[in-house]
Amino acid sequence: MNFQIKGGKQLQGTIVTNTAKNSAVVLLCAALLNKNITTLYGVPRIEEVNRIIEVLESLKVKLQWRSNHILEITPPKKIFLKSLNVKAAIKTRSIILLLGVLVHDLNSFQLPQPGGCKLGARTIRPHFFALEKMSISIKTLPKAYQIKHNGLKPANIVLYESGDTVTENAIMAGAKTKGTTIIKFASCNYQVQDLCYLLTRLGVKIKGIGTTTLTIEGKPHINKPITYHISEDPIESMLFLSVAATTNSSLTIKRCPIDFLELELLKLEKMGFRYKILRRYKGKNKHTNLVDIKTFPSLLIALEEKIYARPYPGLNIDNLPFFVPIATQARGTTLIHDWVYEKRALYYTELTKLGADIILADPHRVYIKGPTKLTAREIICPPALRPAAIILIAMLKAKGISLLRNVYSINRGYEDLAKRLKTLNADIEII
């Protein structure tokens, strides 16, 4: 699938933030902890979710769509990995989230090494270091991981890094382990909080939700029919904020999870970006704080300080790339430091094909000089979700007709993005 974009015009209209990809994939995996029916509301129809669904179906999990975005998950009485859909599994890094789930059903098993975005060395050793505290042994094979244990033990876990997926795996491993498991230096990002709120609905006692120390009282037997509404995606809200700032447009962006956007909005405000919060309210899960944001055409200036990401409550690592197209339209030089991934800063330089003035200082840092006039070109999507999305944003600004080829990377994380952009008066076609 390719996108043809006629850029160079201001957009207008209202867009609603969809539910979070990163929450959906972990909640789909966590549903296997429940021996009863889990019904998830707001499941995004995206390729990343499709791959996890294919994996779960291959494990004889019954998945039934009750409507376009309501999914009912019924686990099998017993899980057998012999039928695992390896082809689907290796396409998504989310497969690693089954590690903390399957240890409750199997004493010995293998998981394929995960795929997903190509962003350099993304070690999963922090998962090993965390789970070995619970008496789980993990061995790396050429194409898979061998997991073994003789019974799980509660533990006091200090995470090697405050990653989202390692925190989620430790939480899910502790959720059904009898006794008290304490996780320190935990991520408290939106998807981790979603997981904790789902588990508390299942009767697992968790203290410290939203903080970096979690105390979990394991519940060995979970058998309860529940429903849960997935939270909205701050990364998608940020995409539309980036669209508005880059194209100098007036947009209304609804259902933005403000707790996970406040620092991003402050940085944008100091760059001269004008916006107004129209109203505040709770999400359908009764936990997420939402706002509607109105943006206005703005004259942007570069920040003197570098822009970089940190674990929550810092600027979200997935939101950092969206400052790249914005910086191309800001007066001055912006330094963006993407310290987490070795390759992602390299993908930022793809915007030079559209006329952006970007200097790659090293594999982690780029200097962006603006404002620059962007012009249409043909570009092939990089194999990474957020870098692909920022090329699309820049093409909306670039005058002329651009062609963005092979947009699978974008479809991994955004549902019907081209159609939704058209509602904002974007001239974009699927070809």
- Identify whether 371 is preceded by a cis peptide bond (ω within 30 of 0): yes
**Whole-structure pTM value:** 0.95
Alpha-carbon gap, residue 62 to 239, rounded angstroms: 33
The token duo for 94 is 């989310």
The CATH number linked to 305 is: 3.65.10.10
Residues 199 and 309 reside in one and the same domain: no
* Per-residue b or e along 286-300, where b marks 16 or more CB atoms closer than 10 Å to that residue's CB: ebbebbbbbbeebeb
Residues 137 and 95 reside in one and the same domain: yes
Per-residue pLDDT at 281: 98
Residues 374 and 294 reside in one and the same domain: yes
Per-residue pLDDT at 225: 98
Residues 295 and 395 reside in one and the same domain: yes
Q: Average pLDDT, whole number, for the chain?
A: 95
Residues 81 and 186 reside in one and the same domain: yes
Residues 182 and 276 reside in one and the same domain: no
Rg (CA), the chain: 21
- Overall number of domains in the chain: 2
Taking only the tens place, the pLDDT of each residue in 127-160 is 999 999 999 999 988 889 999 999 999 999 999 9
Domain end call among 188, 207, 229: 229
| Sign of the torsion formed by the C-alpha atoms of 76, 80, 82 and 85 | positive
Residues 54 and 166 reside in one and the same domain: yes
User: Low-confidence residues of the chain, pLDDT below 50?
Assistant: 119-120
Residues 387 and 304 reside in one and the same domain: yes
Rounded to the nearest 10°, the torsion over CA 63, 65, 71, 75 is -20
Taking only the tens place, the pLDDT of each residue in 306-334 is 999 999 999 999 999 999 999 999 999 99
Alpha-carbon gap, residue 60 to 76, rounded angstroms: 6
Residues 64 and 192 reside in one and the same domain: yes
Per-residue pLDDT at 123: 67
Which of 80, 101, 98 is CA-nearest to residue 89?
98
Alpha-carbon gap, residue 171 to 279, rounded angstroms: 34
Domain end call among 212, 229, 246: 229
Taking only the tens place, the pLDDT of each residue in 349-358 is 999 999 999 9
Domain that holds residue 133: 21-229
Which of 117, 9, 13, 1 is CA-nearest to residue 395?
9
Per-residue pLDDT at 119: 44
Domain end call among 229, 250, 280: 229
Residues 225 and 262 reside in one and the same domain: no
Residues 297 and 355 reside in one and the same domain: yes
Residues 177 and 267 reside in one and the same domain: no
